[in-house]
Amino acid sequence: MKAVVQRVTEARVEVDGTTMGRCGPGLMILVCAMQGDTEDNADTLAARIAKLRIFRDEDGRMNRSILDSGGAALVVSQFTLAADTSRGNRPGFSAAAPPEDGERLYERFAEALRGQGIAVETGRFGAEMAVHLVNDGPVTIPIER
């Protein structure tokens, strides 16, 4: 699985003008299941992100995790993280998991984060979504399984 993790002061995702999910201070996580990914990959990625030390401590250093900071997460599916641009100007997405696997693993990832004790909201898998966020820092980190 692939993810792009952004530390945010706030984030929300809308479908057809309706807010589907939101979070205050915490993480905006774009996630993509890849061909061959399993539930173990989703669980491992969630555990890694839950422990990722990108929040400021009392000295202003990135030394705290979302678990330490008490933040929330907004998780949005984004198959375009699987983009392959090595053969021209039009990206290919064949490395992404098929939609039925992608949705199952996306939901598993969100549940695994909840299982870590993090408040999680989500977008709608496969929908056209508008994502709004205020990146804090900015801090943006790509992570693979």
Active site amino acids: 78-80
What length does the chain have?
145
Q: What is the DSSP letter of 84?
A: B
CA 51 vs. chain centroid, Å, equals: 14
Other CB atoms within 10 A of residue 88 CB: 8
Candidates 59, 96, 64, 67; CA nearest to 80 is 96
